[in-house]
Amino acid sequence: MDFRHEWKHEINMSDMITIRQRLRTVAKIDSHSINGKYEIRSLYFDNLYDTALREKIDGVNMREKFRIRYYNGDTSFIALEKKSKINGLCQKSEVNISAEEAQKIVDGDYGWMLESDRPLVKELYSKILSKGLRPKTIVDYTREPYTYPAGNVRVTLDYNIRTGLHCTDFLNPKCLTVPAGDAPIILEVKWDEFLPNIIRDAVQLTGRRSSAFSKYAACRIYG
């Protein structure tokens, strides 16, 4: 997959209502959403030294992070993802894993990963061994996704960000999450070679600047 451009902006409720109204006139709501949105639960990985967290906070130019996630409480489709960032451009690699495999990762059972025919599973396994990656924290949030074909644009509004505190058993419905403090609403805009003016205008807000906000970092404050 090629690298993509990405903007992030911290916005408020009034901003979100304005942008939502604009996007609904020019873009399409993601067909995978339910009533225009979906609930995301992710489990992020880091090591004993919190390298992924520190690199994000310090703005390291080349960095990566691993996570597993599912949508709308449906554990029949779980994705293992690696997100890389270089020179401000981002790339995401992903592969499906089963609920049983996800639970094994949570439980610290990694041996099966070496025998997997999925390169991303093997890569995570190698970094579990070489860098000490381990499940670190759960991040829950609500996402409103919009798409626009020209430029392969994807615009999302993320809110109700919650943290699992010290619980990493992310397939367990009893693993409750709590609000991640005063986390803002996050507007994300991603595109390939160009961002069409119609989308640029739709997401434009006076006085808002690009942000490096991280949902993972916001939730790590609590555990």
Half-sphere exposure of residue 208: CA atoms within 13 angstroms, side-chain side: 21
Residues constituting the chain: 223
Residue 13 CB-density burial (10 A; 0-12 exposed, 13-18 middle, 19+ buried): exposed
pLDDT, averaged in runs of 10, over the chain (223 residues): 88 96 97 93 96 93 96 96 93 97 97 97 98 96 98 97 90 90 94 96 85 89 72
10 Å Cβ neighbour count for 141? 23
Residue 192: name the closest of 89, 39, 79 by CA: 89
As given in the structure block, the two tokens for residue 127 are 């970094």
- Residue 97's identity, in one-letter code, is I
Q: If residue 14 lies in a helix (H) or strand (E), which one and from where to where?
A: helix 13-26
- Strands 153-163 and 185-191, by their bridges, are antiparallel
As given in the structure block, the two tokens for residue 145 are 């996704």
Predicted local confidence at residue 221, as pLDDT? 82
The DSSP line for 87-131 is TTEEEEEEEEE-HHHHHHHHTT--GGGGG-S-HHHHHHHHHHHHS
Residues 186, 53: Cα–Cα separation, whole Å: 18
C-alpha angle 27-161-155 in degrees, rounded to nearest 5? 15
Q: Are 75 and 171 in contact (CB under 8 A)?
A: yes
90: Cβ–Cβ under 8 A, 6 or more apart, which residues? 3, 4, 5, 6, 83, 84, 190
Residues 71, 69: Cα–Cα separation, whole Å: 7
Predicted local confidence at residue 53, as pLDDT? 94
Torsion sign over Cα 151, 157, 163, 164:
negative
Predicted local confidence at residue 206, as pLDDT? 83
Class of 5-220 per CATH?
Answer: alpha beta
Residues 43, 135: Cα–Cα separation, whole Å: 7
Predicted local confidence at residue 174, as pLDDT? 85
Predicted local confidence at residue 212, as pLDDT? 79
Predicted local confidence at residue 1, as pLDDT? 57
Give me the residue spans of the domains in the chain: 5-220
221: Cβ–Cβ under 8 A, 6 or more apart, which residues? 163, 180, 181
